[in-house]
Structures are given as C-alpha cells and as structure tokens.
C-alpha cells in the first residue's frame, strides 16, 4: 500500500501509575488531509497498534490514530496483579488515544478535526460500542462490526462450547472434518428458506437443521456423527444455560458457522481465553476449567470485572450529540454468535423508544453468509465508512450497503445488505448474483419464504 507523506507522532500515555498506553497519530501533509480524524481499533486482547488500518485511513485523507491498549501480546497474563491495565484494555486506552489525537491534530494543523469517526470489528466492535456508551462526545460517527461487546458472557460461551466438544481429559470429540460436514448439511437444509437457493443461509434463526440427521447408521466414519457427537453439537447450537434453572447464559453458535469453530472451540488444548478466569476473576494461575459451577460461578465472574463489557442500552447521550452508529454482523460468524448482536440492537430499540426513533441514529446490517468480520460464502466486502460519512455530514441515512464477494481477485456476486429488520429478497428477474436484482423489504415471519424465488 502506498501512503501519502505524513507526520508521525509516537507517544506513551500514563493516566494511572500502572498505565503505559502506546499511541500513534499520523497526519497527512498539506492538502492531502481531508480535515477529519479516524480512530482505529484492535482485535482479540491484542496489544498491537493496527498500522494497516491506520495506513488505509491515511490513503483516504484521514488523520489516523491507534493504540496498543496498554500492553503487548494477546494473552491475558498482562492483567495479573495489574487491575488498571485491565481497565486500560477494556475502555480507557481508546478514550485517551482519541483525546490525545484531537489535541495533536489541533497543534499540528491549527484546528481540531471537522469530524471524528471510529471503525472497528470484533474487539474493535466492542471498542466502538464502548465509545458510544461511555464517551458519547468522542466521535461523530462509529462503525461497530461483529462486536465482542458482551465480553464476559462471550468468554463463558467459549468455555461452554469447548467443554461440549471435549472429553473430561481435554480430548476433542469431533474430528476436524466434521465441521465442514455440518456446515454443508446446514446450508443444504436451510438455503432455500428465504425463497432463493443461492448457497447462503439468509437468517440462521429460521434454520431448523437437526444434526441428528447425520447420525451414523452403520460403521462410524467422518461422513456421519455418533450419538455423543450429535449431543455435543446440539450443546454448541443451544448455547450456555444454567443447568438448574434453564436460564440462557449466552446464545449458541449459529447453524452455518460450524466450519469456523476450529480456532475458538475445537482446536485449543484448553478453553479459549482461559486466562480470563486465571488472571482476571479467580486469580489462580492453576485454575482448572473442570471446577466451574454453571449455577454459582456465572454471577461471580460477572461481578469481578463488570466494566469489561460494553452492554449499556442507553445511547441517549450519543444520540443527543448527533452521533451516528452503524453496526453489522456476519450471520455465519463462528467467533461472536450473531444472535447476541441482534439481541443488543433489539434491546437498544426498546430502550430508545422504538425502531423509528432508534434508526434516526443507529442502523444495523446483518450479513448473510459472512464469517467473523469478513470471509465466508456470502458477499462480505462493503464500504461502511463512506455510508457513515454521508449520514453524518449530509444527513443521508443508509437504507442498504452494497456488498461484494470475489473469487480469484474478481467480483462474482453483489448483494444489498439491508438495514434491520428489512431483508434482501430476489425481485424474480435478473441475475441472482447482482445486487440490482434484490430489494430490501419487511421480513415475513421466520421460517417462511419471503417473496419470489428460484430453486
């Protein structure tokens, strides 16, 4: 990537005696600056500045800023004995970097940025929602992709699903090939539920695929499931529940996402983010996942680090500041269950007085067939930042985003992503791989076809 000439400032912020937050601000030289600031985000628990994202923003004319969130590496040992560093990761570092960047831009260019935007996915999506909830004046517009904002419960979801697909001594009960088998079967069962057979599960909430349909009828093989494997897969689909009360602790993973379960659910030798329990909550480096009590310990871990999540539904201050928020999620996300993201949006709608009121400042775009932040069989490349600029600067609210899918470097499918709750439905004529052949319409009740289709 070729970037224009820019001024680079590297700084370290110490808002507490135990904080050491690395920050970089890049400002385009001369007329290359568009007068605006773009805040960039992080992934996982990574302590690394997103230089590629900063460079991409720079090529669009933005002054850009990034942070390492106050530590190095992606493991959670950084929080052992350092509670302020946990706060830095959770929310403080992004706020501090934003305040610093605005002052640096003012001092270097003689004025504050005309507009400030933030864009992030995954942990970056959590950072985005945290900014809107906690610091509503930091940014004029925010993009939150596949947000891991319900962080404590998400980690509990990792624990639940890992336990479901491993034996008590930590051996996986599913061979890796099973994941692809499950995804293919789920898509085959639910592809046409939207009236169009196009290789995508439009909305997995309407998918009724039952993994028991793959039960081995004869000799065990990788092309079928044992009864124990069926039970394990159903637990992942169903999500974490209190065994005594039946209360849902965290949603399960969507049908159609199975092929991506390896990284966070099947492959790790221990539950993903086990350091959360060892260093953030139970404070025991030898803590054993077998000891977790699903009736007693959920409330305990919630109480230990309540600030770790960004789940407030009250966005009145952000709205009052004329802030604009675009959120998206992949319906086939294998890392953050899309249902949790949908639930957050629907809860905000209730808190803010209904859909009409909410959509004046907050729009949500589910992406059929997209994995975590990108990838998957569905069109998953789209320009949310340009849509946010038009909304913030010209009051043109996005009704849809046009997404594309590419193979071998060439675009082979485009599709509109519709502002929830509307969905894209085939008009009945034209190429099923062209966005112009679809319209955003109100959904029909889940489980029924919506509009004309082609089998």
CA-based nearest residue to 309, from 130, 445, 81, 442: 130
Residue of 138, 372, 405, 437 with catalytic role: 372
CA-based nearest residue to 166, from 44, 278, 272: 272
With cut-offs at 50, 70 and 90, classify the pLDDT of residue 253.
very high
Of residues 195 and 389, more confidence is placed in 389
Residue of 68, 146, 333, 340 with catalytic role: 333
- Would the pLDDT of 110 be above 80? yes
117 Cβ neighbours under 8 A, 6+ residues apart? 36, 37, 38, 39, 62, 139, 140, 141, 142, 143, 385, 388, 389, 392
Instruction: Provide the percentage of residues in the chain whose pLDDT is more than 90.
Output: 95
- pLDDT for 1: 76
Does residue 413 come out as left (phi exceeding 0), alpha (psi in the -120 to 50 range) or beta?
A: beta
Q: Average of pLDDT values for 402-423?
A: 97
Query: pLDDT tens for residues 10-49?
Result: 999 999 999 999 999 999 999 999 999 999 999 999 899 9
With cut-offs at 50, 70 and 90, classify the pLDDT of residue 82.
very high
- pLDDT for 221: 83
Q: Average of pLDDT values for 416-440?
A: 97
Distance CA 68, CA 213 (A): 47
- Would the pLDDT of 402 be above 80? yes
Give domain 6-150+307-401's CATH number out of 1.10.10.10, 3.40.50.10490, 3.40.50.1820, 3.90.180.10. Answer: 3.40.50.1820
309 is annotated as an active-site residue? no
Whether the full predicted model's pTM is greater than 0.85, yes or no, is yes
- pLDDT for 446: 53
- Would the pLDDT of 164 be above 80? yes
With cut-offs at 50, 70 and 90, classify the pLDDT of residue 451.
very low
With cut-offs at 50, 70 and 90, classify the pLDDT of residue 447.
very low
Ordered by start, the domain boundaries in the chain are 6-150+307-401, 153-306
372 is annotated as an active-site residue? yes
149 is annotated as an active-site residue? no
Residue of 46, 116, 122, 392 with catalytic role: 122
């Amino acid at each position: 990537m070729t970037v224009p000439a820019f001024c680079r400032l590297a700084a370290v912020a110490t808002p507490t005696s135990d904080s050491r937050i690395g920050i970089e601000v890049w400002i385009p030289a001369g007329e290359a600056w568009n007068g605006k600031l773009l805040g960039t985000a992080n992934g996982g628990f990574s302590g690394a500045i997103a230089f590629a994202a900063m460079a991409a923003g720079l090529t669009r004319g933005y002054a850009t800023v990034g942070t390492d969130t106050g530590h190095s590496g992606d493991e959670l040992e950084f929080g052992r004995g350092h509670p302020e560093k946990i706060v830095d990761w959770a929310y403080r570092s992004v706020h501090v970097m934003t305040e610093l960047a605005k002052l640096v831009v003012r001092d270097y260019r003689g004025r504050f940025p005309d507009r400030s935007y933030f864009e992030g996915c995954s942990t970056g999506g959590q950072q985005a929602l945290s900014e809107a909830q906690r610091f509503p004046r930091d940014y004029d517009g925010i993009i939150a992709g596949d947000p891991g904002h319900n962080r404590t419960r998400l980690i509990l979801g990792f624990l639940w699903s890992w336990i479901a697909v491993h034996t008590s001594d930590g051996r996986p009960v599913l061979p890796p090939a099973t994941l692809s088998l499950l995804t293919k079967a789920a898509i085959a069962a639910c592809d046409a539920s939207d009236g169009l057979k196009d290789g995508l599960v439009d909305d997995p909430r309407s998918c009724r695929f039952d993994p028991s349909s793959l039960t081995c009828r004869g000799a065990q093989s990788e092309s079928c499931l044992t009864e124990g494997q069926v039970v394990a897969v159903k637990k992942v689909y169903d999500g974490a529940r209190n065994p005594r009360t039946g209360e849902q602790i965290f949603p399960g993973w969507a049908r159609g996402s199975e092929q991506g379960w390896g990284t966070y659910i099947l492959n790790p030798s221990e539950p993903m983010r086990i350091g959360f329990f060892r260093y953030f909550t139970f404070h025991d480096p030898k803590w054993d996942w077998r000891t977790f009590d699903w009736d007693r310990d959920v409330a305990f871990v919630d109480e230990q680090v309540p600030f770790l999540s960004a789940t407030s539904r009250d966005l009145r201050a952000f709205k009052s500041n004329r802030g604009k928020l675009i959120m998206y999620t992949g319906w086939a996300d294998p890392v953050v269950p899309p249902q949790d993201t949908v639930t957050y949006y629907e809860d905000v709608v209730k808190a803010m007085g209904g859909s009409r009121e909410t959509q004046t400042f907050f729009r949500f775009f589910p992406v059929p067939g997209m994995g975590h932040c990108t990838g998957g069989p569905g069109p998953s490349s789209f320009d949310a930042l340009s849509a946010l600029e038009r909304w913030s600067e010209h009051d043109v609210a996005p009704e849809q985003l046009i997404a594309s899918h590419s193979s071998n470097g060439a675009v082979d499918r485009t599709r509109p992503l519709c502002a929830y709750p509307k969905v894209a439905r085939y008009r009945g004529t034209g190429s099923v791989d062209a966005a112009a052949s679809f319209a955003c319409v109100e959904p029909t009740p889940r489980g029924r076809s919506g509009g004309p289709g082609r089998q």
